[in-house]
Amino acid sequence: MTFQEVIEEIISLPGCFLVFDEDGEKAQDTANVEHVFLDMFKDKEKAEKAFSVFTTSKNNSLELLDEAKVLLKNKSYARAVALTIMSYEELGKSQIAADYYSGVLPESEYKKAFKQHKKTAYANRYAAIGSHEKVKHGYFVDNSVAKTLESIRQSALYADENNNPSENFDEEDALLIIRKVNKHHESIQHAEWLNGRIGSKALFK
């Protein structure tokens, strides 16, 4: 597959729904596990910290995206691709924090989510209808998305005997991924404005 085909396939539009027809044993097992969710009214200190992560990460994501556009204009296509993927990761971080703040994501998952690959995967989450082993807390996260994007980021940054970043990407590649991530920002911003909420409660209301 070409770079553009890969990006078209793995970065979907935000706010999508998946339907699973069959029940999975793991989904039933996790449903019986007791999770602790943040109550923003009872634990204001934790709520303030989570909201701070949300706003700071979201703003950083926008700054990285703006910098990627500058690199694109200067024909640094590989670096533009790398920064856009980093922007997408920061956007994922903001949405993790938003869902923890809003009581959608339990504290245990919030803490684990910042490990490798989890942040970018969360930006590409789907709301899920039905029960399935890959569904947790009503949403589905495909970690293969993050692993693929991380591999692309590495190839856009680092040279070795088998890789030359400058030869891997062209203007159309950089334009495509910038437009995809920009669309996520626009959709999230619109959902927040429309619903007066943040995170999944805005996108999947």
For residue 154, being part of any structural domain is answered with yes
Total number of domains in the chain: 1
203 part of a folded domain:
no
- Going by C-alpha positions, the residue among 24, 12, 25 that lies closest to residue 88 is 12
Q: What is the pLDDT of residue 158?
A: 98
Q: Does some domain include residue 23? A: no
Per residue in 6-60, pLDDT (tens digit) is 999 999 888 888 888 655 544 444 445 568 999 999 999 999 999 999 999 999 9
Q: What's the Cα-to-Cα distance from 143 to each of 113, 123, 148, 180, rounded to whole Å?
A: 11, 10, 9, 18
Q: pTM to 2 decimals?
A: 0.91
Residue 175 lies in a domain: yes
**Domain assignment present for 192:** yes
**108 in a structural domain:** yes
In-domain check, residue 21: no
| CA–CA separation, 58 and 188 (whole Å) | 10
**Domain-located, residue 25:** no
When mean pLDDT is compared across 9-23, 83-97, 135-149, 183-197, the lowest value belongs to: 9-23
- Among 47-56, 117-126, 144-153, the least confident range: 117-126
Range of the domain at 73: 40-123+141-196
Distance CA 63, CA 74 (A): 17
